[in-house]
Amino acid sequence: MSTMQMISRIALLKKTLTVVSPKLQHCFSHSSRSSLVVVDSVRCRKPSLIVQQFASQRANFSSALPPRPPGANKNKGINFTWKSFFISGGIVSIFTAGMLYFKQEKMKQLESQRKKSLGQAALGGKFDLVDQHGRPFGSANLLGNWALIYFGFTHCPDVCPDELEKIVKAHEMIEKSGKADPIKMVFITVDPERDDVPAVREYIREFSPKFIGLTGNREQIEKATKAYRVYYSAGPRDHANDYIVDHTIITYLIDPEGNMVDYYGQTKTPEDVCSGVIKSMQKYKSMNSRLGFL
């Protein structure tokens, strides 16, 4: 075969292959090396085999690429690090917020205790009197119990009876509520001259057998009324030597530690007293449980 004949045959083959497969055309146009392979192989192989070979070479070429350097996974490493950073940051933030919350709660409690101690200094305190059975009875006997304390006198025409009835009604409501701790009712006279032990015993029996009635000598009564800042003043005596004692009309609520935590004036209803007492009891329990927790 002459050189001219070979050149024209190669040109013909090239033209034929171009028509047979667009993929081969792609090979011809993109890789001179591939072109040579195709041209060289086309004599003994089908175009499809040539395509397979070319594809295989490409695959080999791809697989022959150098492995990724260790730094190639750097982004993944960074992501993990940032994730850890944010998780750690989140935990620290939650912990800090928790600490701040408890600190704030403790500050509130300390403030409340401070106010309470101020109130305690202003109202309430120790007293030593005698009960309706003639036995010594002091503020220490009330420790561990809630108590409603009322100051009055047995000869009071209307106000004291109304207030004592109110206390008894409130007491019944508190007991029936099922939400309250036991609570005592205490009557303390501001008229020790007439209200001796038998007089107090007879008087409180009219209202409730559960009432504790207290009396004492003038000094003892003076001490008790001063502790609660109870005002009282005996009026002029009439021809029968009778007199009215003007006095403060307040019912005090004492907690189991002997602190005065609330008080109810004449305008309060038994319902008001009942709800007020239950509220104070719940507050007391909640504060004690929080202090226990801390």
**Three-class DSSP category at 60:** helix
Beta-bridge partners for 264: 251
Q: Does 156 bind Ni ion (CB under 5 A)?
A: yes
Q: Give 227 or 234: the residue with its C-beta nearer to Ni ion.
A: 234
Conformational region of residue 204, where left means phi above 0, alpha means psi within -120 to 50, and beta covers everything else: alpha
Question: How many residues in the shown chain lie near Ni ion by CB under 5 A?
Answer: 4
Site string for Ni ion, 98-137 (x = CB under 5 A): ----------------------------------------
When binding is defined by CB under 5 A, the residue of 37, 39, 159, 287 that contacts Ni ion is 159
Instruction: Catalogue the E-assigned strands of the chain.
Output: 128-130, 136-138, 146-152, 183-189, 211-214, 232-234, 245-247, 251-254, 260-264
Tell me how far, at minimum, the Cβ of 231 lies from Ni ion, in Å.
Answer: 12
201, containing H or E segment: helix 197-205
Stretch that binds Ni ion, among 24-32, 153-161, 184-192, 227-235 (CB under 5 A): 153-161
Q: Does 160 bind Ni ion (CB under 5 A)?
A: yes
Tell me how far, at minimum, the Cβ of 271 lies from Ni ion, in Å.
Answer: 22
Stretch that binds Ni ion, among 35-43, 109-117, 147-155, 204-212 (CB under 5 A): 147-155
- How far is the C-alpha of 223 from the C-alpha of 72, rounded, in Å? 88
**Dihedral sign (CA 137, 143, 148, 149):** positive
Q: Does 230 bind Ni ion (CB under 5 A)?
A: no
Where do contacts with Ni ion occur on this chain (CB under 5 A)?
Answer: 152, 156, 159-160
